[in-house]
A = this chain, B = another copy of it.
Amino acid sequence: MAQNDTVDRILDAAEELFAERGFAETSLRMITSKAGVNLAAVNYHFGSKNALIHAVFARFLTPYSQTLESAFDELEANCKGRPPCLHTTLWALTESAIRMPHRNERGISIFMRLLGLAYTQSQGHLRKFLEEEYSEPFGRFMRLLKEATPQLSAVDRYWRIQFMLGATAFTMSSSDALRDILQNKLGVDTRVQEIASRLVPFLAAGMQAEDPLLVSSPA
């Protein structure tokens, strides 16, 4: 009975601690003491700290990528023939994230924050792991984006996608703190879903901005 329980308790604790402190700043002893399990359990069940990090990502990324595939299928089915527009493509991403079953209320915040950390913290092994495991839904999303913005050059599109990823990962990764600040400053209460519905128009407008006038260097 308890064998599976130990694994899940470790994953829960690790997920939460990684999300609030980062990977290098979170020790196995913090994780195991928060989880209430023995220190050696991590290396017994997962093999190493890096493998634990991979397991934490796999636990929420695998169901998410499946949800995403379905959403993309539905999207393409609805727009028979013609490529789906930018708005709907972006909505498919955020809706899939929101619709996913989460363990608790903070689940969606943790989910976003971990994704942001994966990009930000320069963990070579993580990037490699994610590329190997989840290249397909990522590539499909990129293809949809390309079809939804045919007016952009490849270089323009590349950078604007990075800008979108940044705005999303950053905002969502600190959505808890940002919501609290807004609550204190303006007395406004905000739901994650509402943040998403503000973010999508911002991103879509940015993606479809007029071509930038590239300034020449002053020398």
The range of chain A's interface size is: 35 or more
Which residues on B sit within 8 Å (CB–CB) of A119? 170, 174
* Given A206-B206, A210-B201, A25:B169 Cβ within 8 A: no
Closest to A182 in B: B158
* Contact A22-B198, Cβ < 8 Å, known A158-B182, A168-B166, A170-B170: no
**Can you offer 28 A-B residue contacts whose CB atoms are under 8 A?**
A21-B122, A22-B122, A116-B170, A120-B170, A121-B121, A154-B186, A155-B190, A159-B171, A159-B195, A159-B199, A160-B198, A162-B170, A162-B178, A163-B167, A163-B199, A163-B203, A164-B167, A167-B167, A167-B170, A191-B217, A193-B215, A197-B212, A200-B212, A201-B210, A202-B206, A202-B212, A205-B210, A206-B206
Q: Is the CB of B22 within 8 A of A121?
A: yes
CB pair A198 B212 closer than 8 Å: yes
Cβ distance A96 to chain B, nearest Cβ, rounded Å: 13
Question: Taking beta carbons and an 8 Å cutoff, which residues of A are in contact with B?
Answer: 20-22, 24-25, 116, 119-122, 154-156, 158-160, 162-171, 173-174, 178, 182, 185-186, 188, 190-191, 193-195, 197-210, 212-215, 217
Q: Does B212 contact A201, Cβ atoms closer than 8 Å?
A: yes
